[in-house]
């Protein structure tokens, strides 16, 4: 006969491992505190009227069958939106749930601040006051905001532990919404196409890297989490090992965005569960382990910062490396009025990245295009955090409009007041060099990016001012375009109707000539 650990009383545990089965009897209680965990090697049973409670950051992993309810209480601050996901199955929500748990009401009119995300329309489906028959779904993410002025509080989820090896394919499934015809072109990166809000369905942690590996055929190799302090989304890519990206712990009750790349479903296997305390952590939505990297931070005088990251790693290229680049988030129904990002050094197609990975050699041979989104009359400040950077390498931000180089380190940053709106690359570039840069000794390897945004539009980024000429040649060497333009940092050139194929673009100004290959399709 298997041994059963039976709970009859209120208990607070830390790092308990139940080697056999665990049963909590009727009218008995078990409370697991934050940072504590329980492993049940056999079966778990919570009898009727038993009270099993896990606090934020606690976790339980059951290898066998799961019977009966537990309550997971996720701690949230007030007056801030969070992305949550039920760590159990079976919890309903209605007006009573909203009022009892301090969820904001009338936001505006007759809506309560709780609801899922609608991928097809890029909108939030917030609950209507008085709406009935609503239930949280396992693996689905929800937006929630607690009432102003109530301080930190808990959102409870009561139900059964998710996951059934026989009926759910070894975990929890979520059917992705994907429309291949709604993929944006490069002008529409901030529109919400194929963004799906999902979440951790278990009362235990899952690793970002394992989640992305399990679902690599259907989603981009990135998740996007909500940073409530700065009211922005952060990307977490999967292959930058020993960083906050790959090792990011997705907590019980946490929701996050993914971007579908194909039709199908994501699966979150039960085997992906782990106890965060095992790797020395506590309940948190952010965790950092510095690599060689630059974090660029922008502020416009508000209380919010935006950032992007450049990592310097082995075995990556100057172009796109799967699992090492993370796009700037473009869903959630909101465009970015303040953002900073980079673009690729090779094969640049105009995609904005919050995370980019570059080789950790030849620092002086790499100049990174930096993009900024900000409004006219904003006074922006760009600073940098350097992690494990070579001692002889300095970091500079170049402003091609003002013709300046500003060193970025712990004592120096760049500031300027914008005369017009910014929403692209072409003005700012990041330099890593052992030299002391200044006007007059500009490096010769400033990149000019040339790519198509549509089949009838060619974009040229990096010529800030002056007259330039662009010519386009087909594969036989016949000239099909010859146009002059005034550089503005980012210039769009309208193309005539051209046949599909490979073309050579030649851009020439007083500084020299650049030739790039583009494909029209």
What's the pLDDT tens digit per position in 441-455?
A: 443 455 677 888 788
Boundary residue ending a domain (37, 68, 99):
68
Same domain assignment for residues 251 and 343:
no
Task: Indicate if 133 and 35 belong to the same structural domain.
Answer: no
Domain range for 490 is 449-520
Element housing 280 (H / E)? none
Q: How confident is residue 169, by pLDDT bands cut at 50, 70 and 90?
A: very low
Same-domain pairing of 261 and 113: yes
Please state, in angstroms and rounded to a whole number, the distance separating the CA atoms of residues 507 and 287.
45
Tokens of 257: 């965005």
Whether 276 and 365 map to the same domain: the answer is no
Q: pLDDT tens digit string along 302-314? A: 878 999 999 999 8
Q: Are 250 and 118 part of one and the same domain?
A: yes
How many CB atoms sit inside 10 A of residue 36's CB?
Answer: 20
Q: Tokens 């955090």 belong to which residue? A: 385
- Mode of pairing for the β-strands spanning 205-207 and 273-274: antiparallel
Measured CA to CA, the distance from residue 225 to residue 222 in angstroms comes to 10
Q: Is 275 in the same domain as 337?
A: no
Same domain membership, residue 468 and residue 363: no
- Domain contains 216: yes
Give the separation between CA 395 and CA 405, rounded to whole angstroms.
Answer: 10
pLDDT band (50, 70, 90) for residue 145: very high
- pTM as predicted: 0.80
489 has a pLDDT exceeding 90: no
Residue 444 within a domain: no
Is it the case that residue 289 has pLDDT exceeding 50? no
Q: Is 116 helix (H, G, I), strand (E, B) or coil?
A: coil
Q: What is the mean pLDDT of the chain?
A: 84
How many structural domains does the chain have? 4
Specify the length of the chain in residues. 521
Residue 420 lies in a domain: yes
In a domain, 348, yes or no: yes
Contact between 489 and 402 (Cβ < 8 Å): no
Calculate mean pLDDT across residues 338-346.
92
Looking at per-residue pLDDT, the higher value among 192 and 486 belongs to 486
> Looking at the structure, do residues 103 and 222 belong to the same domain, yes or no?
yes
444 or 401: which leads in pLDDT = 401
What pLDDT does residue 308 have? 95
Residue 257 and residue 115 share a domain: yes
Beta strands in 111-209 (DSSP E): 114-115, 117-118, 123-124, 134-135, 142-145, 153-161, 171-175, 195-199, 205-207
Among 40, 68, 96, the domain boundary falls at: 68
Q: Are residues 230 and 120 in the same domain?
A: yes
pLDDT band at 460 (very low <50, low <70, confident <90, very high): confident
CA distance 246 to 237: 6
CATH assignment at residue 470 = 2.60.40.3080
Q: Are residues 495 and 388 in the same domain?
A: no
């Amino acid at each position: 006969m298997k041994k059963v650990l039976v709970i009859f009383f209120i208990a607070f545990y830390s790092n308990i491992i139940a080697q056999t089965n665990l049963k909590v009897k009727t009218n008995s209680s078990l409370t697991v505190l934050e940072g504590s965990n329980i492993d049940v090697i056999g079966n778990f049973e919570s009898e009727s009227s038993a009270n099993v409670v896990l606090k934020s950051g606690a976790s339980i992993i059951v290898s066998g069958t799961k019977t009966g309810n537990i309550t997971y209480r996720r701690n949230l601050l007030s007056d801030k939106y969070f992305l949550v996901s039920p760590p159990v199955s079976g919890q309903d929500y209605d007006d009573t749930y909203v009022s009892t748990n301090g969820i904001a009401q009338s936001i505006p009119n007759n809506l309560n601040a709780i609801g899922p995300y609608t991928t097809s329309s890029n909108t939030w489906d917030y609950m209507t006051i008085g709406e009935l028959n609503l239930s949280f779904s396992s693996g689905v993410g929800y937006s929630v905001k607690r009432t102003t002025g109530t301080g930190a509080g808990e959102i409870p989820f009561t139900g059964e532990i998710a996951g059934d090896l026989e009926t759910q394919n070894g975990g929890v499934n979520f059917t992705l919404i994907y429309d291949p015809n709604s993929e944006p072109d490069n002008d529409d990166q901030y529109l919400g196409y194929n963004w799906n809000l999902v979440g951790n369905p278990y009362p235990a942690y899952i690793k970002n890297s394992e989640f992305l590996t399990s679902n690599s055929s259907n989603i981009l190799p990135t998740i996007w989490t909500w940073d409530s302090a700065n009211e922005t989304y952060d990307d977490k890519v999967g292959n930058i090992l020993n960083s906050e990206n790959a090792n990011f712990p997705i907590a019980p009750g946490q929701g996050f965005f993914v971007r579908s790349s194909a039709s199908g479903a994501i699966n979150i296997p039960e085997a992906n569960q782990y106890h965060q305390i095992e790797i020395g952590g506590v309940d948190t939505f952010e965790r950092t382990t510095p690599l060689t990297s630059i974090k660029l931070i922008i502020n416009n005088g508000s209380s919010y910062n935006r950032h992007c990251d450049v990592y310097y790693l082995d075995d990556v290229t100057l172009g796109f490396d799967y699992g090492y680049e993370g796009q700037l988030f473009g869903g959630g129904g909101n465009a970015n009025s303040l953002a900073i990002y980079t673009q690729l050094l090779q094969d640049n197609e105009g995609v904005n990245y919050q995370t980019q990975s570059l080789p950790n050699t030849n620092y002086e041979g790499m100049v990174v295009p930096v993009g900024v989104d900000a409004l006219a009359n904003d006074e922006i400040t760009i600073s940098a955090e350097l992690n494990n950077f070579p001692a002889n390498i300095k970091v500079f931000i170049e402003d091609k409009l003002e013709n300046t180089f500003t060193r970025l380190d712990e004592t120096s940053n760049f500031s300027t007041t914008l005369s017009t709106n910014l929403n692209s690359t072409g003005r700012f570039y990041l330099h890593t060099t052992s030299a002391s840069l200044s006007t007059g000794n500009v490096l010769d390897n400033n990149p000019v990016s040339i790519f198509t945004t549509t089949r009838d539009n060619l974009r040229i980024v990096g010529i800030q001012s002056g007259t330039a000429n662009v010519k386009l040649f087909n594969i036989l060497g016949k000239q099909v375009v010859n146009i002059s333009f005034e550089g503005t940092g980012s210039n769009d050139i309208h193309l005539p109707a051209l046949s599909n194929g490979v073309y050579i673009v030649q851009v020439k100004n007083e500084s020299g000539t650049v030739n790039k290959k583009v494909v029209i399709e």
